[in-house]
Structure 1
Amino acid sequence: MEMKKTLLLPLIFPVFLFAVPIIHAAPGNSKLLREYIGAEGKNVKFSDVPIHSDIEFHFILSFAIDYSTSLSPSNGNFSVQWDKHNLGPSAIASIKARKPSVKVAMSLGGDTIGENTHVHFAPKSINSWVSNAVASLTRIAKEYDLDGIDIDYEHFSSDPDTFAECIGQLLTHLKQNKIVSFASIAPYDNATVQSNYLALWKKYGHLIDYVNFQFYAYDKGTTVSQFMKYFEDQSCNYRDGKVLVSFGTDGSGGLSPAKGFFEACGRLKRLRKLHGIFIWSADDSKKAGFRLEKQSQNFLASIQ
């Protein structure tokens, strides 16, 4: 840190010290839509999803997991679980060529593998997990020409400090070596989940570009005023982070578009706190013709 030079004044003049206010960067809105894709094996393709040319669109491939074929943790040795046929390297190259505003990331973890097995974060040691994760995820990122990474572990067999160090060191390596250009996390309002992600945020938050907070994990019937409070709560938890608002198209909870989601977005837009929207998930939206994806993008494109 550069030391400030001090001007010495003659003793005959009194010196007055004044508090200097801290000026924070002005908040701002973002024309960003992010959507998880590929988790449910419903034959969805990138080309199925309508993409507005005036916004930035992130597809988040779901999921890469460090589990073996015997459904047991493999200590950071990740493999692809999304639909490799429809969402493979050639499909990514094609959508990026046709839609320059598209970027593609992979998400780690998720809730379950198969029908009932929870995906646990279960490192044998920090060093071994990080070493294996860096090697396996670098290979996947290069094969698929990925731009970013998302962390969506929801079950933990380790303490928050271990999670913070493993994920923080992984993100440090991937970013410093330009394997990925952006990173996000996907917490929700659960004590264990939050303790892990907040430990990560406290030490490595400078590496995290977006907080995909799962607002759809709140109760069904959430009102606009409740949603606004939840947003402020999480913005305080992940202070100075870009907390994105979200809804699910799978019938999950939270504030639905039918009950005022876009009204809440309008309020945040006026406050210049709308950092973007993310949706779970394209697999569930296909049957409705991606109606809410269109509505979300039209809303974001209207931001001045």
Structure 2
Amino acid sequence: MMSKTEEEEVNRLENQVDNGGGGAWEYLSLVRKLKLRRPNKVVKHGLSILNDPTKRSALGPDEWTLYEQVATAAMDCQCTDVAKDCIKILQKKFPGSKRVGRLEAILLEAKGSWAEADKAYASLLEENPLDQVILKRRVAMAKAQGNVSLAIERLNQYLEIFMADPDAWRELAEIYISLQMYKQAAFCYEELILAQPMIPLYHLAYADVLYTLGGLENILTAKRYYASTIDLTGGKNVRALMGICLCTSAVAQLSKGRNKEDKDGSELHSLASTALEKNYKKISPDNLPLLTSTLKSLKLQS
């Protein structure tokens, strides 16, 4: 995530370049450094440098970095002819380069030549089985073709090697949720929480999955993770507050006629309800009556 200072600098340079004030290379370098997605602007301003021999030669070795940046951006915005031209120049300069070979495979993918792209990726992986970019591209390609089972298989293979990649765990969890495979999604969120315990989004998503799975034990655990989300966000997460109310209400229903499973349920429900009403009065007063009605239906019986 960009800092406020970085965002201001990107916007300043972008406005300057768009209005003919120069600084195209500085802008492109910053976009690359911050890993921003600005494909149309990268192609436009990148070509303005590459097509000018004087500007291009002034870059020195960075000329080849810019060719690669423009090629990648061109594929992102379906300017495949531009990408092809840039890759040809890189091939001539770096014959046999695996990095250029990866660009060639991505270009095949961008054109929808799935079988050829997969063959090219497989060939590159034979030489370097631990190439993260290629392993991720193969997952993306499976998803683009609608082959969800293959995407799951490839993501699991990837995570056997790169177990500390939070983005991959989160992507796998979201795929499982889309298929209503909630137990598998829960496992993914457990891994994320173990790796990055201070990120409230993971606590909240895990709680949602457990609540969806249902059953007294899962709902009690969901309540704890909704509570941890509230704690990590300073009480400002409305979804977690509502989750507390839903969980305490469900626990009260599920434990009727049995030993009381959730002794602090009534107090917690009341605190969450009060906080929700306070939030709605401030940010969405028109919806307060609907909230009040919903909370009333969830009110615990004494």
- Relative to its length, the structure with more helix (as a share) is 2
Q: Is TM-score (shorter-chain normalized) higher than 0.5? A: no
TM-score by length of 1: 0.27
- Larger strand proportion of the pair: 1
| More contact order relative to length (CA 8 Å, sep ≥ 6) | 1
Structure number with greater Rg is: 2
